[in-house]
């Protein structure tokens, strides 16, 4: 569905992404993991057409931005737009008929209130609902589970499974490894702007152990907790 070839991105003299080569197929869920600053969000913005880059992104449907539902870590909302108006705006952007929103409001959001007054979790659920109703073919979900209550996380996980069954392609970043294990078919480990490892489903537990060992090391012992 989408292939990324030798994608690199720099901000001035700082190289953020270096020669990224990835393929995303229909009906699969992919995880991108890495420490803060590894380049995950920058990669997502390049795919979404929000950042210029060197290299190439090929897609059978045309420009990814025209069929992509991109859930940002912190979605942006205009100051005087209600939840209802926000969903309608995104539907209009895709020429999708605005649905019966009461029936589609599965997260029970106060859609007549201004979105900027929502909590962090509510904003994320509003943005997620809107991109779902756009009927997109590709979804990029940047930390979709952060700041969201456990019941909504269960719903989001099941929605991801549903999208996969519909033949959609889903790319997720998350610092909560259990959510990746529950949803992903393949995980790419991003470090210092490079993909250093690709892990299939049956190897996820080994990757989790490796990441814990790498991240924790002897740091806890150094605290000398008493």
The predicted-structure confidence for 21-64, as pLDDT tens digits, reads as follows: 999 999 999 999 888 888 899 999 999 999 999 999 998 888 88
What is the pLDDT, as a whole number, of residue 204? 79
19 falls in which pLDDT band (50, 70, 90)?
very high
Flag whether pLDDT at 154 surpasses 80: yes
- Contacts for 209 with CB less than 8 Å, ≥ 6 apart: none
Does residue 7 sit within a domain?
A: no
The share of the chain scoring above pLDDT 70, in percent, equals 96
pLDDT for position 215: 64
Q: Note whether residue 220 is domain-resident.
A: no
- 221 part of a folded domain: no
- Integer CA distances (angstroms), 76 to 111, 113, 120, 123, 126, in order: 16, 16, 11, 9, 11
Q: Determine the Cα angle at 94 with ends 161 and 134, to 5°.
A: 20
Parent domain of 124: 69-136
The answer to whether residue 14 sits within a structural domain is no
- Please tell me the total number of residues recorded for the chain in this structure: 226
Assess whether pLDDT exceeds 80 at residue 65.
yes
6 has a pLDDT exceeding 80: yes
In a domain, 16, yes or no: no
Domain for residue 18, yes or no? no
Q: Does residue 30 form part of some domain?
A: no
For the entire predicted model, the pTM comes to 0.89
Phi and psi torsions of 198, nearest 5°: -120, 130
pLDDT of residue 50: 93
Chain centroid, CA 101 distance in Å = 24
Whole-number pLDDT of residue 212: 67
Which residue would you say has higher pLDDT here, 27 or 215? 27
Please classify residue 33 by burial: count the beta carbons closer than 10 Å to its beta carbon, then call 0-12 exposed, 13-18 middle and 19+ buried: buried
- Is the pLDDT confidence value at 105 over 70? yes
pLDDT at 216: 66
Q: What is the pLDDT of residue 158?
A: 96
CB atoms near residue 45 (< 10 Å): 18
Least confident segment among 98-102, 115-119, 183-187, 192-196: 98-102
Residue 13 in any domain: the answer is: no
The predicted-structure confidence for 160-198, as pLDDT tens digits, reads as follows 999 999 999 999 998 777 888 889 999 999 989 999 989
pLDDT of residue 30: 97
Count up the domains in the chain and report the number. 1
**217, pLDDT greater than 70:** no
| Residue 38 backbone phi and psi in degrees, to 5 | -70, -25
Give residue 106's pLDDT.
93
Residue that wins the pLDDT comparison between 105 and 175: 105
The answer to whether 2 and 180 have CB atoms below 8 angstroms apart is no
Q: Could you tell me which residues come within 8 angstroms of residue 223 by beta carbon, excluding any fewer than 6 positions away? A: none
The pLDDT value recorded for residue 213 is 66
Phi, psi of 87 (to 5 degrees): -65, -40
């Amino acid at each position: 569905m989408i292939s990324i070839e030798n994608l690199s991105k720099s901000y001035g003299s700082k190289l953020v992404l270096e020669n990224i080569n990835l393929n995303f197929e229909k009906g699969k869920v992919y995880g991108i993991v890495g420490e803060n600053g590894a380049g995950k969000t920058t990669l997502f913005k390049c795919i979404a057409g929000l950042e210029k880059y060197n290299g190439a992104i090929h897609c059978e449907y045309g420009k990814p931005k025209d069929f992509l539902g991109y859930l940002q870590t912190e979605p942006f909302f205009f100051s005087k737009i209600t939840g209802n108006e926000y969903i309608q705006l995104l539907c209009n952007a895709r020429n999708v008929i605005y649905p019966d929103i009461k029936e589609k409001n599965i997260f029970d959001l106060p859609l007549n209130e201004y979105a900027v007054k929502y909590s962090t979790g509510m904003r994320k659920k509003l943005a997620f609902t809107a991109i779902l109703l756009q009927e997109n073919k590709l979804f990029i979900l940047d930390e979709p589970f952060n700041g969201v209550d456990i019941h909504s996380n269960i719903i989001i996980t099941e929605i991801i499974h549903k999208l996969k069954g519909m033949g959609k392609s889903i790319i997720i970043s998350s610092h909560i490894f259990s959510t990746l294990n529950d949803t992903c078919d393949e995980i790419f480990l991003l470090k210092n702007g490079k993909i250093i490892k690709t892990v299939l489903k049956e190897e996820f537990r080994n990757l989790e152990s490796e990441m814990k060992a790498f991240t924790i090391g002897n740091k806890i012992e150094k605290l000398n907790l008493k």
